Amino acid sequence: MHKVAILSRDSERYRALIKKSLLPDLELVLVNNKISESFDYSKVDILFGDPDLTSQIVAQCTELKWLQSTWAGNAPLFAVDKNDYQLCGVKGVFQRAMQEYVFAYLLYFSRNLKGFVEAQKRGTWEPPSYQSLAGKTLGIMGVGDIGKGVANMAKNFSMITRGYTRNSHDCEGIDQYYKVNEEQDFATDLDYLVCLLPQSTKTTGLIDKSFLSYLPPHCVLINAGRGASIVDRALIAALQSKALHAAVLDVFTQEPLPKSHPFWQLDNLYITQHTAAESIPEEIFAIFSNNYVNYIDGHALQYVLDFDKGY
């Protein structure tokens, strides 16, 4: 029997899904939504849960063979020294939600919805200026599974697309790829920039004062990757000086974002409380279930992450 521990805010939903699935040779030894101080984690060989929770006890799991994460971002687990197990991420379940999120804001700005609301409040028939997304240039930083979904959706709006990536170069929705040290060429003349980068030493602070200076003043930046990719001070300065039209931030270096943070006071910054593409337990469980069958059959697991790369 494989001793499985579930440590997630959705632990009870995962318990119900496991019970319904009748996965063989599986013994649930822990189902919790918080850290248990009394539980003996040394007997666990499979962990299934949220990275911020599992990272706190993974070092105690001396018999751990496989950890199935419930999130796309796994920085808390990469920050722990223990790496003698297989860590699996989740893919293929966030594309639709991220497409909705990104294009909700691209359309908000391009069609100038705020301007129409203000015109209505004034009771005027004179429409505000607005534009089409067609022909506009969208830069996507991070063209993995989620980035590809955004790029392909952009083509439905006849947008020009640029991809900034270290590995992926096979997305049909990207018109031109850029790599490390080509940041200026990538950012110049962008109308919209979407950052979907994972957190790593190489992506931390990438969007700094220099990078932001490459963007034109009319550009809108959307960050739904990791908060650490952006240097907060530089973004605040760019927004205050109108060197950047607007920013939409879903992720932050510190979450929840402190009430004292200057971001809250900027009228051209939009905060969405890490809701762009949330994990849906039924979709995450399908990945766990498939991987569990692979695991007990001795087959390769899907979406194994690289501790050296950090993603």
pLDDT-derived band at 161, boundaries 50, 70, 90: very high
DSSP annotation of 121 reads H
Strand partners, 147: none
Q: Show me where the domains of the chain are located.
A: 2-92+279-296, 95-271
Cα dihedral across residues 72, 77, 79, 84: positive or negative: negative
Closest CA to 112 of 272, 220, 265: 220
Whole-structure pTM value = 0.92
Where would I find the H helices in the chain?
A: 11-21, 51-54, 75-78, 95-110, 113-122, 145-156, 183-187, 209-214, 232-240, 281-296
Fold of 95-271: Rossmann fold (3.40.50)
pLDDT of residue 99 exceeding 90: yes
Give the dihedral sign, CA 69/75/78/82.
negative
2-92+279-296 classified as CATH 1.20.1260.60: no
Per-residue pLDDT at 166:
86
- Residues forming a β-bridge with 223: 195, 249
Place 169 in a pLDDT band, splitting at 50, 70 and 90: confident
Question: Is there a shared CATH topology between the 2-92+279-296 domain and the 95-271 domain?
Answer: yes
CA 74 to chain centre: 10
Task: Give tens-digit pLDDT for 61-79.
Answer: 999 999 999 998 899 999 9
All residues at 6 or more sequence positions from 311 whose CB lies less than 8 Å from its CB, including other chains: 74, 89, 198, 200, 305
